[in-house]
Amino acid sequence: MRNFSRYETRGRGMVSSNDRTPVTILLRKHLRLLAVLPVLLWSCHADDPTAQSGVTEPGVLASGYWIADGIAVIGESEFLFADRGGAVYHYVGGRVTAVRGIPASKTSEVYGGVLDVSLHPSFPNSRLVYIAYNDAAYDLTVARFELRDDRAENLRVIYKSAEFSIGSRIEWEDSSRFFLSFGVGGDPYPAPGPQNLSSDVGKIHRLMADGQIPTDNPILPGASKPSTIWSYGHRNPQGLYYDALKRTLYATEHGPLGGDELNIVVAGGNYGWPLFSYGLNYDRTRVSDMSEDAARAVSILPVKFWGPDFRVAPSGLLFVEGSQFTSWNGAFLIGALNPQHLLRYDPATRETEIVLRNVGRVRDIAQLPSGKLLIAVDAGSPKQSDRGRIIELSPPR
């Protein structure tokens, strides 16, 4: 019997925004950019773009949703997005339609529902779409279907766990394989946890496009053959980005109080939670007594972490190249849930900047063919169940 009340309590209790000196310094460096953003947001889409609800805010392509998440771009003015309320929506040129035939999912406060939607690389021909959702039994499930006339046709469940996930992403390695992140709750985390290799939680999984286990997945300690598990010891990985040229998988994950991480994820890697963390438990006690050196010996440390003085609560992750925001290119954009910013992390300088401040809880980031950017945001509170929005960011003209 799982106890979800602690997730719900945790979700609300996590909100405590700090505006500390490093952020302020970085902000000053980007005042010019920040100053033009309100203008940018006013610069597009005057006509009412949604069938579901009126849109009055600048740049907002779709609004009135609960927790909009998982944007999958089809074309310059066409995309899909998920809603934690249990739906997938199809935006085409200003009109939004709910895709029919999406399986039932269960939501509880801000958790559950449809977590991500992703196009198979062959989508232009195959129309294949993948969704990750907590099904009616609250178990993380991946299904694929063909999108035809706003219907999910020939839907098939290709992965079903017996466990619940907080936040999941689907990220394609190539047309044959994809990664699936599987988050675990706060502290105390449910047992068995991320270090238990018989549990699906706190892992990044790697699956064939049909849900089978790739034969080149790692053989983990104590096992004799590969499983779906690609890496373990994750806490709550809500951002995945695969660099196909470098064949490198990046993942962000939530620490508890601080200790948010960016990791380079390799096969069989143990990413350390909860053996070691740069963050603190919510009661401000240490997560463990393990030293950083000891942690390095038994796990893979993050390539970047943010301490308790710079909270991120990272969600969507995108490495940006060729966007119309030229000063943002060559770095990661990271959606922050708490505080509610869009961040830019430059791996060359190791600097983190707030590029959009207090824009809402940024769940996902996507780039359009033109180089414009979309973000999915929400208010994070079930009491504001109509604050889920998709916003188009337009660069200076």
Print the binding letters for residues 222-261 with Ca ion: x by CB under 5 A, - otherwise.
----------------------------------------
Closest Cα partner for 264 from 304, 295, 233?
304
CB of 255 to Ca ion, least distance (A): 8
The residue (of 14 and 158) whose beta carbon lies closer to Ca ion is 14
| Nearest approach, Cβ of residue 175 and Ca ion (Å) | 30
| Residue number with CB closer to Ca ion (168 or 263) | 263
- From residue 258 to residue 297, the character string flagging contacts with Ca ion as x (rule: CB under 5 A) and all else as - is -------------xx-------------------------
Q: Which is nearer to Ca ion, 159 or 271 (CB)?
A: 271
Minimum distance of Ca ion from residue 299's CB (angstroms)? 7
Q: Which is nearer to Ca ion, 89 or 271 (CB)?
A: 271
Write down the least CB distance from residue 275 to Ca ion, Å: 9
Q: Give Dmax over CA atoms of the chain in angstroms.
A: 59
Total residues in contact with Ca ion, by rule CB under 5 A: 2
Does 49 interact with Ca ion (rule: CB under 5 A)? no
Give the nearer residue to Ca ion in terms of CB position, either 141 or 277.
277
- For Ca ion, the closer of residues 141 and 263 by Cβ is 263
8 A C-beta contact, residue 372 and residue 384: no
Give least dist CB 183 to Ca ion, A: 13
Residues in 51-80 at the binding interface with Ca ion, rule: CB under 5 A: none
Minimum distance from CB of 246 to Ca ion (Å)? 21
- The distance of closest approach from Cβ of residue 166 to Ca ion in the complex, given in angstroms and rounded to an integer, is 16
Taking the C-alpha atoms of residue 118 and residue 72, their distance in angstroms, rounded to an integer, is 5
Nearer to Ca ion, 231 or 394 (CB): 231
Q: Residue type for 96, please?
A: V
368 to each of 75, 79, 98, 344, 372, how far by Cα in Å? 7, 9, 21, 18, 5
- Supply the minimum distance, in Å, between the C-beta of residue 11 and Ca ion: 21
Residues whose CB falls within 8 Å of the CB of residue 376, separated by 6 or more in sequence, listed in order: 68, 69, 70, 71, 81, 316, 335, 362, 363, 364, 365, 388, 389, 390, 391
Contact 88, 393 (CB under 8 A): no
Q: Which residue is nearest to Ca ion (CB)?
A: 272
Shorter beta-carbon distance to Ca ion: residue 11 or 256? 256
CB of 273 to Ca ion, least distance (A): 5
Give me the residue label for tokens 């939607």.
117
Q: How far is the CB of 321 from Ca ion (least distance, A)?
A: 27
User: CA–CA separation, 361 vs 268, rounded Å?
Assistant: 32
Which residue, 77 or 352, is less far from Ca ion as judged by CB?
352
Closer to Ca ion by CB, 65 or 271: give it: 271
Give residues in contact with Ca ion (CB under 5 A).
271-272
